Structure 1
Amino acid sequence: MNYNEALEYIHGTYKFGRVLGLDNITKLLSLLDNPQDDLKIIHVAGTNGKGSTCSFINSMLISGGYKVGIYTSPYLESFTERIRINSENIEESELARVTEIVKSKVDNMVESGFNHPTEFEIVTAIAFYYYKEQNVDVVVLEVGMGGRFDATNVIKKPLINVITPISIDHTDYLGDTLAKIAYEKGGIIKDDCEVVMYPQDKESEAVIKEIVKEKNCTLTMANIENKEITQMDVLGQVFNCKVKDTVYNNLEIQLIGKHQVNNAIVAINVVRILRDKYGFEISDKDIYEGLKNTKWPGRIEVLTKEPLFIIDGAHNVDGAKSLCNTIDNYMGDKDITLVLGMLKDKDVRTVCEILIPRCKNVITTNPNNPRAMKADELKEIVNDLNKECASCDDIEKAVKLAIKKTDKNSVIICAGSLYMIGDIRSIVKKGDF
């Protein structure tokens, strides 16, 4: 099996849908000798900020000299981004080799009468097998969706459970209230574990705290209020904060937006528990260096400066609010052209209601995903909000139209589905305009 054959096999399992439950992944991993049981894992769930928080944790651990696996989704430009060790993507040949091993076990399952695993279950099994084989020191594991029945939740006991901001999303699977969604996210919490939580709204927080109590866990609430941002621009931020008994002054991050400072504070709390409870050798210098080196593509990421061209995966209401806060804080009265693409199972209208008033021009396009809303349908929603709008089915044509409409003193923002953001990132990097 070569790389293209591996991808064809993995993506070919999309037809088996999205099944919430642990029976399939449990069986598949048992046939692989349960590699996940030999891994030290930091398990991260939430609606927003999971990837950024994982990336901050990953970078600080690498600065401390550890061999770190990080498992995230979706990818932006290359499938291999999803499985990384010390920020290096799994090699294509390695992905092909491990996929062939996992496929043989899937075939055994099906022959024995079990259901065929889903795409996410297969990729999760590939990641666990690869990380065990590569003898990583620790894995930073991002939940795919929800938590309680997510394939990643097959793990027995992580070092730390992390809960990032919870908001309304994936209501068909997780429930239509914050309490229901928080219950699903909190399903990753295991007995007698350390839990680090981003402060939530009262409804979500009450649910998580009840789970923590039932599971006899130790809860650390990240103190995101006791901070001071001393410098902020489109190239990064500098801030002060206090975590446990330590005051950290002049911490630097490249990620922009106030919410990223909060995510960094959550990550520092995680690393401090690794150091203080588990004996990880991570110095304050490693914390500073790790935060400064953290990159997380596609999240309010600056691609060019003239014009200012930003991409952001603001695919839900909280993401749209964070993007608008960034616009207000960094872009003043500049004219903004928005390229927008959304998946139809999101709260599309509310996202549009938040973003559209901030923008002079709007161009809708189609994300590269079967669940994408058609550009013309999205255009109708924008028009309903009394905003003129152009639509382009082709993403590259949408980008070129945005550039045509924008002078060097204005701003282009491409937002919505991460399945679109990766394509735009590749287009802009080529620079063929």
Structure 2
Amino acid sequence: MNYEEAMIYLEGTERFGSRLGLDRMRQLLFWLDSPEFGIPTMHIAGTNGKGSVSAYSAYMLASAGYRVGFFCSPYVYDFGERIRVIDGRDPEAVWAQDPHAGQISREAVAETLTRLRTIIEEQGLTGPSHPTHFEMLTLMAFMHFRARACDVLVLETGLGGRLDSTNIIPPPRVAVITAIGLDHTARLGNTYLEIAGEKAGILKRGTRALCLYDQTIAIPEAEEAAKVTELFAQRAAELGIDLVAHRHADVHVLKRDLTGQSFRIFEEGNRIFRTALLPAFEPDNAALAVKAVRALVPTIAQEALARGIERCYWPARLEKLSDRPVVLLDGGHNPQGAAALRESLNALFPDGRPEVHICSIMRDKDQQAMLDEALRGGKVKLLLLTAPQGVARAERPEILAELAAETAAKLLPATQRPEIAGVDSVAAAVERGLAFCLAHDAVLVGWGTFYQAGEFRKALLAEIAALEV
């Protein structure tokens, strides 16, 4: 197959849905000669923040000279983001300037999928025995990373942990658990503790360390946060894994603005770290990643840690797309993510600058709670609800608009309620939102789902180009 044929074949596997379990992976990896073995691995699970922690870790390891296989999901702008080799052995360090450097090539996509398809058809795998779309991606990653002779792997789970396809790996050197929240409850459980139990499934006897996020940041109920922390501590003790706990109090933010954030980490002394990522929780994510990388490579130089954090690019995490007007794009897609977005916007604009929000939300999310968090404080002056093209899970704009109006009426006095409208397309919403921002010196914020990000960015760049003519 060529690239186009391979991508059509891969997209066709979406009809098999999402079926958690490891049997299909185990069988196919056997036929592929077990490419998941033999490479030291960091395995990262969590509800929120796992992508950022993964990216920081990969960039720090590359800055120390390692060739890093980096698997993440979902992609934001380009399919190749999912499977990337960040090559710290490259003397030109192209990856440090080009955020797309090392993405799996079209040729490699065609080659790996052709081999996979051949095995699947030879073995007669159909229906329930056929690998799911995410399993295909995971298999492609293992194949590509072995072909590129990676020194170390950084793997982000897709859903949960215990039965996620990435969990087919042998014991990772280091396991990382980020913020636990209430998301995917139909699949993972209805409580923090149930969801934590699924995430804890990545822990295996033989793993050196579990690096654990400070759950008091993520879980508002102190008792629940303590229970979740104890669950991970107990599971680690049972398996003989050292627990390395991150504490929010160990991070001191020195500066935060639209150029990024600077901060210190208690264990790293007076060293000042800088990140270009804007969300308020990013210094904590970076600090957790530092612990994880030090657990994996105890001798790593502090300079490599600092360079990796500063170089780290991670799209659609309150990503600044424009300065005039200020346009930010965020992938927050659950109540915890919406709350973090609100906290970050308040920190970046303490003067109460007016906001325009363009929001798409999936049908299976807690839409009420997400809108409640975003509207809190009355800074949103225009709220445009829309839906990305071709995404069946997306809620209809008119339903979201009705829910948003009800939420605003309950939450805010009449004088603080935003103008609310459902808009048929992301492009139309961007056009309307941008016009409002230019007229009222407001901030434009796109959020609600990663599925919206590509359309949002494309429409925004087209509108800005038209304004400059």
Q: Select between 111-120 and 291-300 the one with higher mean Cα deviation.
A: 111-120
Aligned pair partner of 2:190 in 176, 188, 204: 176
CA contact (8 A) 2:203 2:236 kept: yes
What is residue 137 of structure 1 aligned with on the other side?
Answer: 151
1:257 to 2:279 alignment: yes
Aligned pair partner of 1:316 in 334, 346, 357: 334
What is residue 89 of structure 2 aligned with on the other side?
Answer: none
Give the letter for the 1:234 counterpart: L
**Deviations along 1:336-361, whole A, 9 cap, x unmatched?**
00000011111111000110243110
1:354 to 2:354 alignment: no
Structure 1 residues 78 and 397: CA distance shift in structure 2, 3 A: same
1:204 to 2:255 alignment: no
1:425 to 2:454 alignment: no
Distance (Å, rounded) in 1 between the aligned partners of 2:461 and 2:126:
48
Distance (Å, rounded) in 1 between the aligned partners of 2:245 and 2:134:
30
Q: CA deviation at 1:321?
A: 1.1
1:367 to 2:388 alignment: yes
Distance (Å, rounded) in 1 between the aligned partners of 2:106 and 2:57:
25
Aligned pair partner of 2:431 in 385, 392, 400: 400
Unaligned runs of 5+ in 1: none
1:106 to 2:120 alignment: yes
Structure 1 residues 248 and 49: CA distance shift in structure 2, 3 A: farther
Aligned pair partner of 2:445 in 398, 403, 413: 413
1:5-404 equivalence runs, <5 A:
5-86=5-86, 87-111=101-125, 115-193=129-207, 194-200=209-215, 201-243=225-267, 246-276=268-298, 282-331=300-349, 332-357=351-376, 358-368=379-389, 369-385=391-407, 386=409, 387-404=418-435
What is residue 96 of structure 2 aligned with on the other side?
Answer: none
Q: CA deviation at 1:364?
A: 0.6
Structure 1 residues 25 and 238: CA distance shift in structure 2, 3 A: same
Structure 1 residues 112 and 429: CA distance shift in structure 2, 3 A: closer
| TM-score scaled by length of structure 1 | 0.95
**Deviations along 1:258-310, whole A, 9 cap, x unmatched?**
2000000001101111222xx5xx31111111111111110011100111100
| TM-score scaled by length of structure 2 | 0.88
- Kindly, what percent of the aligned residue pairs are identical? 32
Give the letter for the 1:425 counterpart: R
Q: CA deviation at 1:83?
A: 0.4
Distance (Å, rounded) in 2 between the aligned partners of 1:412 and 1:275:
41
**Deviations along 1:28-48, whole A, 9 cap, x unmatched?**
111111100122211000000
CA contact (8 A) 2:280 2:347 kept: no
Distance (Å, rounded) in 2 between the aligned partners of 1:367 and 1:169:
21
CA contact (8 A) 2:16 2:127 kept: no
Give the letter for the 1:240 counterpart: R
Tell me how large the CA RMSD over aligned residues is.
1.5
Q: CA deviation at 1:248?
A: 4.3
Distance (Å, rounded) in 1 between the aligned partners of 2:230 and 2:211:
14
CA contact (8 A) 1:196 1:221 kept: yes
CA contact (8 A) 1:6 1:99 kept: yes
CA contact (8 A) 1:64 1:283 kept: yes
Q: CA deviation at 1:131?
A: 0.3
Report SS of the residue matched to 1:88: coil
Distance (Å, rounded) in 1 between the aligned partners of 2:60 and 2:103:
18
Report SS of the residue matched to 2:129: coil
Distance (Å, rounded) in 1 between the aligned partners of 2:315 and 2:164:
24
Distance (Å, rounded) in 1 between the aligned partners of 2:239 and 2:16:
33
Report SS of the residue matched to 2:394: coil
Q: CA deviation at 1:367?
A: 2.8
**Deviations along 1:169-228, whole A, 9 cap, x unmatched?**
001100000110000001001113211010121232122122112212111001321221
Distance (Å, rounded) in 2 between the aligned partners of 1:50 and 1:326:
18
Distance (Å, rounded) in 2 between the aligned partners of 1:392 and 1:65:
48
Distance (Å, rounded) in 1 between the aligned partners of 2:275 and 2:446:
22
**Deviations along 1:102-123, whole A, 9 cap, x unmatched?**
1112223335997111000011
Give the letter for the 1:147 counterpart: G
Distance (Å, rounded) in 1 between the aligned partners of 2:138 and 2:297:
27
The ranges of structure 1 where at least 4 consecutive aligned residues each deviate by more than 3 angstroms after the TM superposition are 111-114, 429-433
